[in-house]
Amino acid sequence: MQVFLQTLVGGLSLGAIYALVAMGFSLVYRTMGLVNFAHGNVVMIGAYVASTFYLTVKLPFVPAMVIALVITAGIGLVIERVLRPLENKDFDLMLIGTIGFGIVLEALATLIWGATGRAVRNPVQTAPLDVLGVRIRTYDLVVLGVTALAMVLLVLFLQRTKRGAAMQAVAMDHEAATAVGIHVGRSNAIAFSIGAGLAALAGGLAGPLLYVSPTMGGSLGIKGFAAAILGGFGSIPGAIVGGLGIGVLDSYSAGHFEGYSDLVTFLVFTAAIMIRPTGIFGERTVNRA
């Protein structure tokens, strides 16, 4: 029982990171119908920038995160601007275009920071809590708290602000949105930069949990994407549930199958998608003839 709960706690904090990654995927997808395969690499850039300002420049953790957020939001703007001609046209081409950006970002990171990774010091140096014999690191609670806060802010933004409502309108019908005077390009650019900012948040928080390296984007991105799909692609609460689900699944399969954990995680994910392609909170779409 103790082992079971300990694994669950470990899975939840990593799951919160996946949830943040998944939220970025979902936000960009629901507003512009684009799947950003470079998202994982933006997460990696966020992790590197945050850790550089935290470890090398010796800024406190929070300002370092803010700088990472701003920089990745800028990267998001660049990606959106370059791929804008393809928006609402060829889905598969856009997907491949973002894979291209992912390759570029990974190469840039290798050039700037080298191919070997770095470990990041835990910014919250307090003793772990002990609840019913389960050790909970304070930092895990920080990660979960930030994720919850980010979700609440994002949902409020989408539902309560004019800008958020405009984004939803663009998502539903970009032509009608143009007709009522919404600047679709700008709305998409903002969505994309918020998505990239979420990536920096995920990357920065993941730094102390994982090892920061140019290739960390690959596995974080793929698992975050899997989380988004599992929860129902485009749904913000779905991203949270999917993220925590993948995190816990990962944690248990690491415990039981050791080296084969990725194999098990992806097989389970494939089976889940085959059974319910729309995910947990996904909308069923009807093909119109």
Partner 1 sequence: MTFRSRRTLRLGSLAAAGVLLYALPYGLGSYAIHVVDVAIIFALLAMGLGLVMGIAGQVNLAQIAFFGVGAYATALFTTQAGFGFWVSAVLAMLAAVVAGLVVGFPALRVQSHYLGIVTLGLALAFLNWIINTPMAGGADGISGIPVPPLGAVDLRDEYLYYYLEIVAFLMALGFGLFVVRTPLGRRMKAMRDDPLAAGAIGAEIPNLRMTAFVLASLYGGLAGVLYAGLIRYVAPESFSIANMFLLLAMVIVGGRQSLWGCVVGAVGLSLIREWLVDFSTYAQLGYGLVVVLMVVFAPTGLAGVPVRVAERIDRRRSADRAVLRPFRPYEPLDGAEHAGPEVVGLEVVGISKHFRGVKALSEVAFTVEAGAIHGVVGPNGSGKTTLFNVISGLYKATAGQVVMDGRRITDARPYRLSQAGIARTFQNLRLFGALTVRDNVLVALDRTRTRFIWRYALWPVGVWRYDRELRHRADALLDRFGLADYAGATPGALPYGIQRRIEIARAMACAPRLLLLDEPAAGLNGEEVRQLSEIVRSIRDSGVTVIVIEHNMGFVMSLCARVTVLSGGRVIADGTPAEVVATPAVIEAYLGDESMSDAPLDLPTEVK
- In the bound state with partner 1, the residue whose beta carbon lies nearer, of 25 and 53, is 25
Kindly give, in sequence order, each residue whose CB lies less than 8 Å from that of residue 80, ignoring residues fewer than 6 positions away. 32, 188, 189, 192, 193
Closest among 193, 191, 190 to 74, alpha carbons compared: 193
Confirm or reject binding of residue 172 to partner 1 (CB under 8 A): no
Terminal-residue alpha carbon distance, the chain: 53
Quick one: 57 or 267, whose CB is closer to partner 1? 267
According to DSSP, the β-strands at 129-131 and 118-119 are unpaired
Which residues, including other chains, have CB under 8 Å from residue 67's CB and lie 6 or more apart?
49, 50, 53, 59
Beta bridge partner(s), residue 136: 129
Of 43-51, 77-85, 157-165, 187-195, the segment contacting partner 1 by CB under 8 A is 77-85
The count of other CB atoms within 10 Å of the CB of residue 28 is 29
Strands 118-119 and 211-212: antiparallel
Q: Please name every residue paired with 135 in a beta bridge, in sequence order, or none if there are none.
A: 130
Q: How far is the CB of 41 from partner 1 (least distance, A)?
A: 10
Among 6, 88, 110, 122, binds partner 1 (CB under 8 A): 110
Task: Indicate the residue type of 135.
Answer: R
How far is 178 from 66, CA to CA, in rounded Å? 33
Residue from 11, 46, 76, 102 that binds partner 1 (CB under 8 A)? 102
User: Does 101 contact partner 1 by CB under 8 A?
Assistant: yes
Cα angle 277, 280, 6; round to 5 = 120
Q: Write the interaction track for partner 1 spanning residues 187-226; mark x where CB under 8 A is met and - where it is not.
A: -------------------------------xx--x--xx
Within residues 227-266, the interface with partner 1 by CB under 8 A covers: 229, 233, 259-263, 266
Task: Considering only residues 31 through 70, tell me which ones interact with partner 1, judged by CB under 8 A.
Answer: 35, 37
Q: Report the residue from 5, 66, 86, 209 that binds partner 1 according to the rule CB under 8 A.
A: 86
- Using the minimum distance from each CB to partner 1, give the nearer residue, 108 or 141: 108
74 binds partner 1 (CB under 8 A): no
Residues of this chain that bind partner 1 (CB under 8 A): 35, 37, 82-83, 85-86, 90-97, 99-108, 110-111, 115, 218-219, 222, 225-226, 229, 233, 259-263, 266-267, 269-270, 273-274, 277, 286-287, 289
